[in-house]
Amino acid sequence: MKAMVVYDSAFGNTEKVAQAVGQALGAPEDVKVVRAGSVGPGQMAGLTLLVVGSPTQKFRPLKTITGFLKGIPGSGLQGVKVAAFDTRATERDIQKVRILAFFVSIFGYAAKPIADRLVKKGGDLVVAPEGFYVADTQGPLLEGELERAAGWAKRIVAAL
């Protein structure tokens, strides 16, 4: 198996989730965890699995992630299993600001648009997009989220 977890992270929380997902997916020689801006040419060749993760900022993935996804050729993910995750504020924090709750109800979070884009490029989505929660804008992640991320990754492995 050749797998890659591509992520970006403003404050380090999504990076921690990406590393936890990568570790749970398999051995380091099979699984590369790479920041979106550092994906080298040819690194995508022969991938079995591509997982993409971003912090949710303004209801969307970071521009570096959207840019990475746009750079994948039209049917470039044909035959590749794909999955997407984000990190995000808790429901409770969002409900504290009424206007924010309204926009979230319309625009949602980053994971779904990432998954949609991966599928559009030919990828085979193996698990539902998932969100992992941070306690505040800069984190930390809520307790247990890294374990939940590892569990999510194990479900991906089971679906390969």
Ligand X SMILES: Cc1cc2nc3c(=O)[nH]c(=O)nc-3n(C[C@H](O)[C@H](O)[C@H](O)COP(=O)(O)O)c2cc1C
Question: Which residues form the interface with ligand X (CB under 6 A)?
Answer: 9-14, 55-59, 87-89, 109, 134, 137, 139
Q: Whose structure tokens read 């050749």?
A: 2
Give least dist CB 88 to ligand X, A.
3
| Residues making up the chain, counted from first to last | 160
CA atoms of 112 and 122, how far apart (whole Å): 16
Shortest spacing between CB 13 and ligand X, in angstroms: 3
How far apart are the C-alpha atoms of 75 and 42, rounded to whole Å? Answer: 16
Between 78 and 95, CB nearer to ligand X: 95
Nearer to ligand X, 56 or 66 (CB): 56
Q: Which C-beta is closer to ligand X: that of 13 or that of 66? A: 13
